[in-house]
Structure 1
Amino acid sequence: MSDDALWYFARGSGVVSLILLTVVVALGVGARSGRPAFGLPRFAVSLVHRNAALLSVVFLAGHVVALLFDSYAKLDLIDLVVPFVGEYSPFWQGLGTVALDLILAIVATSLLRHRIGAPAWRAVHWAGYLCWPVALAHGLGAGSDSGTWWLWAISLACLAVVVAAVVWRTSAGFEAFAGRAARRRPLTLSR
């Protein structure tokens, strides 16, 4: 594969991964609401959340592998796991490494969820909320597209989606719904 093809693939896969990660975070916020989101039942929201997360990881892997073989980026294997040590734009590249490390921790604990238990999995899974802004900042600061209007437009759209999800989740209407749901008696079978 030529350097140009690697460069285009690295750029595109990074942007697609950010968009999918935005969907994952927004759905993660929505799934915690206890009410249907986007007119979908909770199981459907969870299914889309999980599948978007898996697809985001696939595109992230493509992004990282393409940059590893790109002669312009000049990444070493150590740059993929240790933040802020790279030669090219160490701060912005380091943010990408932090995001990658957080994603790897989330994937590893998700695969081991039944062995480590739900509380440990949930504690690490919350890192997704930290991973998203770090990945967003990495995308805006690293690479040759950092100053382009289209990347800023996509990034601002991603920001708007996550902010809207958080506003929806913290709205007064949500609290009223959550309160009603908590007051409902659970369905039990009596003898």
Structure 2
Amino acid sequence: MDEALWAFGRASGAVSLALFTLSVVLGILVRSGRPLLVLPRFAVTLVHRNVALFALIFLGLHVGTLMLDPYAQLRLVDVVVPFLGAVKPFWQGLGTVALDLAAAVVATSLLRRRLGPGIFRAVHWLTYVLWPVALLHAVGNGTDGTSKWFLLLALAAAAAVGGAGLWRLSPRFLESARLRQEEAS
């Protein structure tokens, strides 16, 4: 049973990273206000939210199974307070930082209407910190962190987020409000 927990913990972490990568890329696309292939803008927003939800589910499975696994030696305090872990405390701590940032983004997303768009947007920018911290955690702490398949996944994820990020910073990126204003004129 211990090996099954360990394997599921590793797999759910890799799936969570892949889904968070897709969520970040879709989030940038949502901000641009452009459609995605045949999906209209509103559908891209829904896909972004659902992918983020699945990423969080797999993150919960990742943390939950590793808390049950005696090999991982993960304690409740390690899940909340960074850098206290018994095994690879720095790399594990990066995972805790990513989890804490994800919790902040989720909390503000759930309270979006009460907090207002400015606070929501400001906290949502933490995903640009969350994602690379999670990637570093996966490479540094993961059992598969140096395996060829995982390094290919990590490189593909970095290329996707990096490419989307460069597009986000480029002059060709128009945010949805500016895009709609230009379409109306």
String of CA shifts for 1:56-113, please: whole Å, max 9, x gaps.
0000000000110111110111000100011100000000000000111111111111
Tell me the residue number matched to 2:19: 20
CA contact under 8 A between 1:110 and 1:121: conserved in structure 2?
Answer: yes
1:149 counterpart = 2:148: yes
C-alpha distance 77-180 of structure 1, shift in aligned 2 (>3 A):
closer
Structure 2: tracts of 5 or more residues without a match: none
Task: Find the aligned partners of 1:178 and 1:113 in 2 and give their Cα distance.
Answer: 19
Task: Find the aligned partners of 2:126 and 2:179 in 1 and give their Cα distance.
Answer: 30
C-alpha distance 144-174 of structure 1, shift in aligned 2 (>3 A):
closer
In the TM superposition, what are the counterparts of 1:13-162 in structure 2 within 5 Å?
13-162=12-161
CA contact under 8 A between 2:33 and 2:179: conserved in structure 1?
Answer: no
Task: Find the aligned partners of 1:19 and 1:117 in 2 and give their Cα distance.
Answer: 30
Which moves more between the two structures, 160-169 or 23-32? 160-169
When the two chains are superposed, the root-mean-square deviation of aligned CA atoms in Å is: 1.9
C-alpha distance 47-179 of structure 1, shift in aligned 2 (>3 A):
closer
Give the Å deviation of 1:183. Answer: 3.4
Counterpart code for 1:109: T
**Identity over the aligned pairs, expressed in percent?**
54
Counterpart code for 1:126: W
C-alpha distance 9-93 of structure 1, shift in aligned 2 (>3 A):
same
CA contact under 8 A between 2:21 and 2:131: conserved in structure 1?
Answer: yes
String of CA shifts for 1:28-60, please: whole Å, max 9, x gaps.
111111322334211111011000000000000
Task: Find the aligned partners of 2:149 and 2:40 in 1 and give their Cα distance.
Answer: 34
CA contact under 8 A between 1:10 and 1:67: conserved in structure 2?
Answer: yes
Task: Find the aligned partners of 2:107 and 2:173 in 1 and give their Cα distance.
Answer: 32
Counterpart code for 1:83: P
Task: Find the aligned partners of 2:42 and 2:144 in 1 and give their Cα distance.
Answer: 37
Give the Å deviation of 1:172. Answer: 4.4
Task: Find the aligned partners of 1:90 and 1:53 in 2 and give their Cα distance.
Answer: 27
CA contact under 8 A between 1:31 and 1:37: conserved in structure 2?
Answer: no
Task: Find the aligned partners of 2:81 and 2:20 in 1 and give their Cα distance.
Answer: 22
Give TM-score, length-normalised by structure 2: 0.92
Structure 1: tracts of 5 or more residues without a match: 187-191
